Amino acid sequence: MSIPGVGGLVISTMPFMCAPMTPEQKADRYAEVAKEIAAVIDGETNLIARMATVSNILHHAFGHYFWTGFYIVDPEKPEELVVGPYQGSMGCLRIPFGRGVCGAAAASREVQIVEDVHAFAGHIACDARSRSEIVLPVMNAAGELIAVFDVDSDEKSMFDDIDRAGLEPILSAAFG
Ligand code: SME
């Protein structure tokens, strides 16, 4: 819902813009967004189109998402990630496996939740405003790593197991 503001400016009244979400609201929002993404990408086989849609819908669904996108395993350099579809300020173009939070997720194939990026050794500061993040490995149907999905917030401690539990089924439905 939105209400008209002064001079035609539209002021959003979505609850996430006004107050932090409760854990229940956040879980519910992930469930709604999962359905929306599934409906939009249904029948679309192009990987970039699917990644662009996932980034776009998630980025605009949550107030704590500051940078949202994919780093794809480079087919020509299998130990290196190259930036894919994203929303937010300009991202670094390439990240070697093992470097930063994305590189750690790629090398370990494990979800990384970082409450304070300044305390993470080797964190890559593409945007100095990033303070916390979650990075999930993205696997294809054969169980091979094809990318990582990276979400940054400009506030500390913004990601937890609800984000992980919300994002894992979205990524496996879209790419698994
Ligand atoms: N934060 C990431 C780098 C990518 S950007 O934040 C867009 C990392 O340390 O892996």
Interval 89-145: pLDDT, tens: 999 999 999 999 999 999 999 999 999 999 998 889 889 999 999 999 999 999 999
The ranges assigned to domains in the chain are 28-175
List all residues whose CB is within 6 A of at least one atom of ligand 1: 67, 91-92, 95, 100-103, 123-124, 126, 130, 133, 150, 152
Rounded alpha-carbon distances, angstroms, from residue 138 to 6, 141, 148, 169: 44, 10, 5, 11
The answer to whether residues 85 and 104 touch, using CB atoms and an 8 Å cutoff, is no
pTM of full prediction above 0.85: yes
Cα 123 to averaged position of ligand 1 atoms, centre (Å): 7
Q: What does CATH list as the number for 28-175?
A: 3.30.450.40
